[in-house]
Each structure stands twice: as structure tokens, then as C-alpha cells.
Amino acid sequence: MKYIYVRNSWLLVLLFCSSLGFCQTEEWVVSTLTTARANGDITVAENGDIYIADFGRPGLGNGSTVVKIKPDGSKSVFATGINSAGSGITIDSNGNLYVAAFNGGDVFQITPSGNKTKINSGLSGPVGLAVDNNDNLYVAECTVNRISRLVNGTAQTVAGIPGIGCANGLVWGHDNALYVLMWRNGEIYRVDLAGNVSLFASTSGGGGHLELLGDYYYVLGRTAHRVYRVDFNGQVEIFAGTGADGTVDGSVADSEFSRPNGIGVNRQTGELFVTGSSDGSLNDIPIRKIALESVEVGNDFEINYGLAGSWYNPNTDGQGFVFDFAVSTVRFDALVYWFTYDDIAADDQTELMGFGTKQSRWFTAIGPVQGNTVVMPIYRTAHGVFDDSAAVTSDVVGSMELEFFSCFEALLTYDFTVPENKSGSIPLQRIAPDIMCEVLAGE
């Protein structure tokens, strides 16, 4: 198996190539999982269940529920009474949810069974929530630009964020620090637990929420209608979205988002989930999934006469094939010789009964070349004796397809109808060194 990485400003493409040259790409693709009345932040449990807080109508902040979406897209209301404007949401190692109510100034804990408890109150516009590796809980307080640690019902200030950006999205980072995304200007600040604050990166458009997955932070550009990706050096690239305000699925390069706000990640599968809109309606909004999907890569190798010679499958040593090519101004045919023989005449009663080496027969095939493939009938020649003039017979007994992937790799697929129904495929490698194939392929 070969792995080839191709990176550009839009996506990471991972090519999986077998020893025969079969290749697939894995590309990030956007799809709509479902719709739901929920436009706050997102968190994902270990079992893949997705939880989204509902902020409600923008400008009113009248949402009061948490929606649960299963991986198959089925949805239900998991909790009510989040008073009001559910915004940030996170989950700890025990499966407890924490939800911030922006207008109420509260943070709620919701157990896996759905029991809700208010654990903090009196906060100043709480939005983003994050837990560290020890399940310590932190909150971004938007209206005072402050990051606080929540301990036994009290808020302990960790750091203040400069400017008037409104501390919004919050995530525990790769280096045991907090990363906060500003709602108004899309700036991202790093906050360590000693209270040191530094600008980490700047994205275009107002910020929503952010998540850490692998080697990147995935950041929502709310008014830019985009998802950004930021590496650990603070380098920003567009990951998904054309910048148009819309809801278009497909490749990340061609997808469209409408004011994306919440983002969550399934760490078991590497899938990202994004709230698709935060418009002024009370209608359900699209919940988008961004995931790697496999795409076949075509085989564009062209057959040339330099492929002539002996080929075999290393796993069945002793069985071989000879390829040759007949080239004229009007035809380009491939010929295959696939034979066994014995030095004594076969018993007429058993000659045509099986495929064993004691049966004196040859298989040959011929057909026109079409790009990288030849499809041809299989002929069986029987009743021959080595170095003997005894008469032979030839009959069509099946068909084969021969596909070349390079000057050294091919796949022979066969389908016999007699002496019995038998089909399969044989991966082939060239035995002798290449003399002309790569030269001709490069012309």
C-alpha cells in the first residue's frame, strides 16, 4: 500500500494506492445531516451522539433547549429550561454536558440521563465552554471579555482579553492552553493558565466557535460564511465554503454556508459538524457534516508494445503469462499465451475435464487494445503432445480482461464457462527488466 499526500489551500487529499496501482482519494465533503431548531455550539459524545444548544432567534436570544442528534440524523429534544439563549456547550470525560445560557448568565450541567442542575449563575454573557484534561471547566464571558474557571459555583478569573471583540468560542488547546475566538473580529487568542494572553491568529469575518482536530484548529467565520483551518503556528487557510451565503453540499471547495456558528467534532471518526445558519427565523436550520469520503481515481495508463514479455504472480510461482502485441496501421491487438503441457498424450476421457497440469492444453487470447485495457475471448487448445505432430483442437472457453496500471503492474480477470464455471483475477508483475515501455509511455 502506498500513501501519497497532496496539499493545497483548500483541502488535504490522501491517495491510497495498491501494489497494482488501484488508487482512491479521500477528500473532505460537506453534506447535510439533518435540520434542527438549534444554532448554538455543538459537542459530540464518544458514542457519536451530537448535542447542540439553541440560542434562539438572533437579537432575542430566546432559545431554551438542547437538541440531540444521532449519527443517523434522527433528532430529539434532550433538555429544556436553559434560560435563556443556550450558546456554548461541552462534554466531560464522564459524559456530563455543560451548557452556557447567554442571557441568563448561567451554566447548567446535564447528566447522561438528562438530569439538569444549574452550577453557576451571575456570569457576564457566558458563551464558549471548555474542559481541560482533568475535567476542569472554563467559560468565555463575552460582555466583559474574560476567561474564567468555574469551581464549586464560583468564577475564578484566568485572564482578560484585550479589545472589544466579545470572547465567544473556547477550546482546550494542543499545548495545555485555552484558545478563544472573538465574536466581532474573528481574532484568536491563546490564554495560558498563568493568565498570559497573546494573539494567535486572525480570521476574516466575525467569529463563531472553534474546535481542535488533529493538527489543526477548525474555526467558523460567521459573517464570512466559511470554515477556516489554522495550524499550530497560527497560519490560516480557507477549509470550506466559497464565501457565498447559502447551503450547498459537495466538495469543501464548492460548498456554501450561511452564517455558521457552532462546530463540534467526533473524535472517533474525525467528522466535523457545523450549524448551517443562524438567521432570524424560527425554522429548523441545516446541520452540516464535513467528513472524508473515498473517491476512485481513474487509471490513465496507456498500453504500448513495450509491455511485451513474461509476467507472473509471485504468490503462485510457476504459473506465467507471455504478452505480445500485433501493431498495424489499422489495429493494435494484444496476444496472451497462458499454457501448460505434458510430454505424453493425455487420456481422451479426461483431456477436457479439468485445469490440472496433467491435461495437455494451451490457453491463448487475442483482442483489440483500448487505452489501458484489453477484453478478449479465451481459446483452449487441447490434444497436443510436446514435440509431436498430433492434431490439436481449439475452442472458445471463456473471456478475460487484461488491465495495465504501469509498465510493471497488471491485473488479469478471467471467466471460464468450460470445462466448468470458474472466474477470478490474478495480479501480475513483469519478470524481465523493462526495455522500452517507460520510454514509450513518456512520449
| Residue whose entry in the numeric block shows the C-alpha cell 448535542 | 51
Instruction: Quote the pLDDT of residue 58.
Output: 79
CATH number where 196 lies: 2.120.10.30
Instruction: Quote the pLDDT of residue 362.
Output: 78
Question: What residue numbers bound the domain in which 125 lies?
Answer: 2-297
**pLDDT, tens only, 311-331:** 998 888 767 899 999 988 788
Instruction: Quote the pLDDT of residue 343.
Output: 63
Instruction: Quote the pLDDT of residue 5.
Output: 31
Cα gap 58→39, rounded to integer Å: 9
Same domain, yes or no: 391 and 427: yes
Cα gap 10→228, rounded to integer Å: 10
Q: Which of 281, 297, 313 is the last residue of a domain?
A: 297
Same domain, yes or no: 283 and 336: no
Residue 86 clears pLDDT 80, i.e. is over it: yes
Q: Tell me the residue ranges of DSSP E strands in 126-166.
A: 126-131, 137-141, 146-151, 154-160
Instruction: Quote the pLDDT of residue 341.
Output: 60
Query: Where does the pLDDT of residue 11 fall: very low under 50, low under 70, confident under 90, or very high at 90 and above?
Result: very low
Judged by DSSP in three states, 316 sits in: helix
**pLDDT, tens only, 204-216:** 989 999 999 999 9
The torsion of the CA quartet 169, 171, 175, 176, rounded to 10 degrees, works out to 120
Same domain, yes or no: 320 and 263: no
**pLDDT, tens only, 18-53:** 545 455 567 899 999 999 999 999 999 999 999 999
Same domain, yes or no: 339 and 421: yes
Same domain, yes or no: 112 and 247: yes
Q: Which of 238, 269, 297 is the last residue of a domain?
A: 297
Same domain, yes or no: 256 and 343: no
Percent residues over pLDDT 90 in the chain:
71
Cell of 324: 505480445
Phi-psi domain of 128 (left: phi exceeds 0; alpha: psi -120 through 50; beta: other): beta
**pLDDT, tens only, 382-433:** 877 778 887 888 899 999 999 999 999 999 999 999 888 999 999 999 998 8
**pLDDT, tens only, 153-193:** 999 999 999 987 899 999 999 999 999 999 999 999 999 99
Nearest to 386 by CA among 413, 361, 415, 351: 361
Instruction: Quote the pLDDT of residue 287.
Output: 96
Compare 336 and 3 and report the one with higher pLDDT: 336
Cell of 63: 432559545
CA 122 → CA 96, 105, 117, distances in Å? 22, 5, 15
Cα gap 179→150, rounded to integer Å: 17
Instruction: Quote the pLDDT of residue 278.
Output: 60
Q: Model's pTM, two decimal places?
A: 0.67
The answer to whether 20 and 240 are in contact (CB under 8 A) is: no
Provide the number of structural domains found in the chain: 2
Cα gap 260→281, rounded to integer Å: 15
* CB atoms closer than 10 angstroms to residue 261: 30
